[in-house]
Homo-oligomer: A and B are copies of this chain.
Amino acid sequence: MGLPEKVPPRPGYEVTIHKIYERALLLFPEIEIVSRTKKGIVKSNYRMEAERMQALANALEALGVGKLDRVATLDWNTHWHYEAYYAVPMMGAVLHPVNIRLAPAEIVYVMSQAEDKVVITNSDFLPLVQAVAPKVKTLEHIIVVDTDSVPDKVAGIPVHHYEDLLKQYWGKYDWPLVDEDQPAAMGYTSGTTGLPKGTYHSHKMITLHALSGALHLNTFSKHVSLKTNDTILQLVPMFHVYSWGLPYIAALIGLRQIYPGKLDPGVIIDLVKKENVKFMAGVPTILYMILSHPKAAETDFKGVTYVNGGSALPRGLAELAAKKGMTVFVGYGMTETAPILTLAAPPAHLPVTEENYFDYALRTGWPIPLVDLRVVDPEGNPVPKDGKTMGEIVVRAPWVTPEYYMNPEKTEAAWRDGWFHTGDIAVWYEDGSIVIVDRDKDVIKSGGEWISSVRLEDAISRHPGVAQVAVIAAYHPKWQERPVAIVVPKPGWEDKITTEEIRRFLMENYVEKGVIPKWWLPDKVVLVESLPTTSVGKINKRALRDKFSKILVEEEQ
């Protein structure tokens, strides 16, 4: 008797993905879920999806999937993928969406470390599965979602057809009561430096992340208001950080969902028009692909909100999107944080106007509920909120992975003094927002002072002849490092973009206005036809550094 130190949990009263599922089934049974497959559009709804999820759980159980067993997925954004997102964790197993853009050797590495027992794959990735399966010793079953004929076995492992399994195991499944702290899903970082690192997140983490993200989206800014039955186009690859949690956020709000299948900018534009899409999220590369597609010319994107994540959104691209009618703003997060930490939807309480909109919307953002975030100096002390002093972003939030899986060394390096260290360098503003100025390793250290490659990229992207730009640190005998800009020119500008022209543009528009210091001007501009990207569509700065970091010294020789 007496007040306990800890409230004892009552099974079933806890925060699990089941709660999102049960409520969606009760309140939104007829709201549509639309999926684009090779055979055309599949129309479904929350009720039908719930039935399919139950059949999937029956089937996986029959294949021997039990508590904490890992089920991998290799698929585009489809209703099949959506079904796995719910059924696997709700039956007490662990979802492991595998990044299809990793190298085969990396896929073998992550699937082996995760000890995946079953893989659910799109037929597009069957060749990949055939290549990796023999090396993933734990793999017991392969399920192919979108084809009528599948091989009997791959490397001795039985192969099943998804729809056949669903027919065979159709019927009610009694979801077990799962502890809210039980792992629900695993994700690997994209490994821009070294091998991918494993993270995992519990039911509680994933559910709270969805709740908080959805709340912030809808109350912090006058520029976004999603209501039940509004349409989301699920654009963020589902093999990438749980599609930023949007498949859970969507069901929580009761959004109508469009799964566009294999990514195709022309198809996306068609779907936006036809399906009355109100919300999308993605990396800048995708936004650029959409806006530069021929069909975009005759398309009005009014009423569409696009949240940009993954990399900084160049101002030039943001302004192009705005000109096409989109509401665009930035979001920030990482695999470790499931992922959302901040959103830059311009706040309702600040003096946002049409003119200064992007002064807010292009910040890295304001923390969403339950995220406790600081920008700190190397000693861990918060830096002044002056918009100038750089520091590292550290966070505490209920959805930060507890560790790097099987990697105590990296775990110890990231969790220090009670905070998770993101490795992102930012400045902090009086209004509580942050702006990332660089990744720890992307910062340019010139003569002992820091230069932000992100800010330089942002400025250069506003030159009318620049399509894409990346600024990297090149070795310099005197200053140690100096900025070099790698630029993809717009068609017709190939001859006009030069080091002198870019320096002139920056002088006139930034240096003379006091926005950036003169010593930040890049030493050199290099023209290329395209920029290399990583497996998640970010610009691959490591590859650029490998290629161009000696360019200033080579020229002097």
Residues on A facing B (Cβ under 8 Å): 1-15, 18-20, 22-23, 26-29, 31, 68, 70, 94, 177, 179, 181-183, 186, 200-202, 204-205, 207-208, 211-212, 214-215, 218-222, 225-230, 252-254, 347-349, 366-367, 369-373, 396-398, 400, 402, 405-406, 415, 418-419, 431-432
Q: Assuming the A-B contacts A7-B205, A11-B418, A13-B398, are A369 and B20 also in contact, with contact meaning beta carbons closer than 8 angstroms in the complex? A: yes
Contact status B348-A27, CB under 8 Å: no
Closest B-chain residue to A8, C-beta based? B402
Complex CA gap A394/B78 in Å reads: 36
Interface centre among A202, A228, A366 (most CB of B within 10 A): A228
> Do B211 and A369 have beta carbons less than 8 Å apart?
yes
Q: Which of B229, B347, B367, B402 contacts A10 (CB 8 A)?
A: B402
Most buried by B among A212, A225, A369: A369
Q: Are B221 and A369 in contact (CB under 8 A)?
A: no
CB-defined A-B contacts under 8 Å, sample of 5 = A3-B68, A10-B396, A23-B371, A219-B226, A225-B225
When the two chains form their complex, are residues B398 and A15 in contact, meaning their CB atoms are under 8 A apart? yes
Q: Which residue of chain B lies nearest to A215 when distances are taken between CB atoms in the complex?
A: B215
Q: Are B348 and A229 in contact (CB under 8 A)?
A: yes
Which B residue sits closest to A217, measured CB to CB?
B219
Given A11-B418, A14-B398: A19 and B227 interface contact (C-beta under 8 Å): no
Given the complex, which residues of B lie within 8 Å of A419, measured CB to CB? 12
Compute how far the CA of A254 lies from the CA of B432 in the bound complex, rounded to whole angstroms. 13
How far is it, in angstroms, between the C-alpha of A27 and the C-alpha of B183 when the chains are bound? 32
Nearest opposing residue in chain B for A401, CB measure: B7
CB-nearest residue of chain B to A29: B432
Of chain B, the residue at the smallest CB distance from A204 is B7
A15-B398, A400-B10 as given contacts; A3 in contact with B254, CB under 8 Å: no
Copies in the complex: 2
Alpha-carbon distance between A170 and B92 when the two chains are bound, in angstroms: 50
A253 to B70, CA, bound (A): 37
Contacts of A22 in B (CB 8 A): 372
B residues within 8 A CB of A186?
3
CB < 8 Å neighbour of A227 from B177, B220, B396: B220
A257 CA to B27 CA, complexed, in Å: 32
CB <8 Å contact, B211 and A219: no
A219–B220 touching, CB < 8 Å: no
| Inter-subunit contact B218/A218 (CB<8 Å) | yes
What chain B residues lie within 8 Å of A15 (beta carbons)?
208, 370, 398
Provided the pairs A26-B432, A211-B212, A348-B227 are in contact, do residues A13 and B400 lie with their beta carbons within 8 angstroms? yes
A12–B182 alpha-carbon span in the complex (Å): 19
A200 touches B26 (CB 8 A): no
In the complex formed, the residue of B with least CB distance to A227 is B348
In the assembled complex, which residues on chain B have CB atoms less than 8 Å from the CB atom of A432?
26-27, 29
Neighbouring B residues of A230 by C-beta, 8 Å? 348
Q: Which residue of B lies closest to A369 (CB)?
A: B252
